[in-house]
Amino acid sequence: QVQLVESGGGLVQAGGSLRLSCAASGRTFSSYSMGWFRQAPGKEREFVATISWTGGRTYYADSVKGRFTISRDYTKNTVYLRMNSLLPEDTAVYYCAAASRWDSGSYYLPDPYDYWGQGTQVTVSS
């Protein structure tokens, strides 16, 4: 069982930056690939970024590539999402998720992710 708690959301002006954190409980953090998804009002949950259990592979949605960076700290059981050059369309609830297994054909889908956090709101004003 893995419990995930996100933090770091808030209100920021367009062009600004935020860093989201996701703290994971349990001693098996290092065996999970970690991802970030987001959901805007009236829209479906969408993939943002993911990092493999080794930290050696990262993938990003095209809409955030070059602006967002995902990373993980094994000593703190925490995964981060650094968000730069924020746009109003980045406004959403951001969710952290843990997957025991994904591959190149599934990392962007919600299905492989076994555990989810409660979400943190990010609002970007224009």
- Beta strands, E only, the chain: 4-7, 10-13, 18-24, 33-39, 46-51, 58-60, 68-73, 78-83, 92-99, 113-116, 120-125
Tokens of 24: 């994971």
For 35-94, what is each residue's pLDDT tens digit? Answer: 999 999 999 999 999 999 998 999 999 999 999 999 999 999 999 999 999 999 999 999
At 30 the pLDDT is 87
pLDDT of 27 above 80: no
pLDDT above 90: residue 28: no
Distance (Å, rounded) from C-alpha 69 to C-alpha 35?
Answer: 11
Average pLDDT over all residues of the chain? 95
pLDDT at 68: 98
**pLDDT of residue 29 exceeding 90:** no
Asked if residue 18 lies in contact with residue 63, where contact means CB atoms within 8 angstroms, the answer is no
